[in-house]
Amino acid sequence: MGSGLSPARFRESKRPSLLTFVVRRSLQSIPLLLLISLILFVILNNAPGGPLTPYLQNPHITQADIERLRHNLGLDQPAWVQYLHWLGHVAIGDFGYSTSNSEPVIQAMLERLPATLELMGAALVLSLVVGVALGIISALKPYSFLDYAMTTFAFFGQSMPVFWLALMLQIAFAVYGITAFGYHFALPSASISSLDTFDWGDRLEHLILPTITLSLLYIAQWSRFMRSSMLEVIKTDYIRTASAKGLSRRKVVLKHAFKNALIPLVTIIAVTLPQLVSGAVVTETIFAWPGMGRLFFNALGVFDFSLLMGYLCLASFLVVFSNLLADIAYAMLDPRVKYS
């Protein structure tokens, strides 16, 4: 009797661990990724011209050459055979060769991945710091002039198209040379593709405009989510209890309210992280930033099949992985959430 488990302890012992939850969700993601890759393969394979589109645009290649390429690449086989052949190569890390760069797809993406991570990291940090801070300030002073000003800024940020904002920033700060706080912004150039020889001070100068363009939308969105969540939390009983115990306003907000208000925001941030990759396509193209977004845009213009499949599969993986991170973060921040 004394060695038996109480019902509450028995339920707790049966609760899956975090590791079990991660493993189970990871295994569940594999069929989803396979289905996504199949859909992408079918869509791109049935586009006009198909994978041989770059060769069809070459006037020096005859129809006999096209037929020979079609046979050598296995494009004369049934679609399901082509997909299984492509999947078999992907399983060993081979996404094929880029017809536009004449190099392996993996190598082409890895060469430009550092520049994309640099831009995404800067935009993410700026969006988090500014968005969360604005949301907290707006929640602590609701319906004040400051709150209305931040709300107006949020509506502005959410309604501005990325391409329009990027072009306006280029015209204002680069073409007409307008300075902000005595500082002149510069546009990226081809030299920033070299991480070893590029001066970091100059690199940060070129990073400012693309980072502002990419992060403005998320600053607006996350500040509104943070404001709404913080307003809901500061009206709860435990916050009033903490204030009644004599704790300072700063400690009540930062120690008690902030963590609980952050829970719904964490989910939103994790889910929207892949959008930084898609948003970087436009931003990197306009600012000539040598990242994966610009690589994808160039590949789309010449219909580089292998490169398009590699990029889209990577973006799909980021979406699934971000959703997994959101579930894990939510469960860690809120002990009431079970790993089910």
DSSP 119-147: HHHHHHHHHHHHHHHHHHHHHHSTTSHHH
Q: Is residue 96 part of a domain?
A: no
104: left (phi over 0), alpha (psi -120 to 50) or beta: beta
Domain boundary, last residue among 56, 91, 126: 91
How many structural domains does the chain have? Answer: 2
First to last CA, the chain: 30
Q: Which tokens is 294 given?
A: 């610009």
Q: Is residue 5 part of a domain?
A: no
Is residue 83 located within the same domain as residue 127? no
Residue with tokens 């969006």: 127
Is residue 143 located within the same domain as residue 191? yes
Is residue 161 located within the same domain as residue 79? no
* Entry pTM: 0.75
Q: Is residue 75 part of a domain?
A: yes
Residue with tokens 């949301």: 135
How far apart are alpha carbons 237 and 235 in whole angstroms? 7
Q: Is residue 207 part of a domain?
A: yes
The predicted structure's pLDDT at residue 181: 41
Q: Which domain holds residue 163?
A: 114-333
Is residue 147 located within the same domain as residue 281? yes
Q: Is residue 329 part of a domain?
A: yes
The predicted structure's pLDDT at residue 8: 46
Which residues of the chain carry a pLDDT beneath 70? Answer: 1-16, 49, 174-202, 277-279, 331, 333-340
Q: Is residue 7 part of a domain?
A: no
The predicted structure's pLDDT at residue 322: 79
The predicted structure's pLDDT at residue 198: 52
The predicted structure's pLDDT at residue 247: 76
Is residue 41 located within the same domain as residue 119? no
Is residue 243 located within the same domain as residue 137? yes
Is residue 161 located within the same domain as residue 240? yes
Q: Is residue 339 part of a domain?
A: no
The predicted structure's pLDDT at residue 195: 45
Chain centre distance of CA 283: 13
Is residue 216 located within the same domain as residue 300? yes
Is residue 125 located within the same domain as residue 77? no
The predicted structure's pLDDT at residue 335: 62
Residues 20-57 as b/e (b if ≥16 CB within 10 A, e otherwise) read ebeeeeeeeeeeeeeebbeebbeebbeeeeebbbbeee
Give the three-state DSSP class for 75: coil
Q: Is residue 109 part of a domain?
A: no
Q: What does residue 190 show for φ and ψ, rounded to 5 degrees?
A: -65, -25
Is residue 159 located within the same domain as residue 305? yes
Domain boundary, last residue among 57, 91, 125: 91
Domain boundary, last residue among 76, 91, 106: 91
Is residue 79 located within the same domain as residue 128? no
CATH number at residue 136: 1.10.3720.10
Is residue 252 located within the same domain as residue 178? yes
Q: What is the pLDDT of residues 95-143, one digit of tens each?
A: 888 877 778 889 888 888 888 888 888 888 898 899 888 988 888 888 8
Residue length of the chain: 340
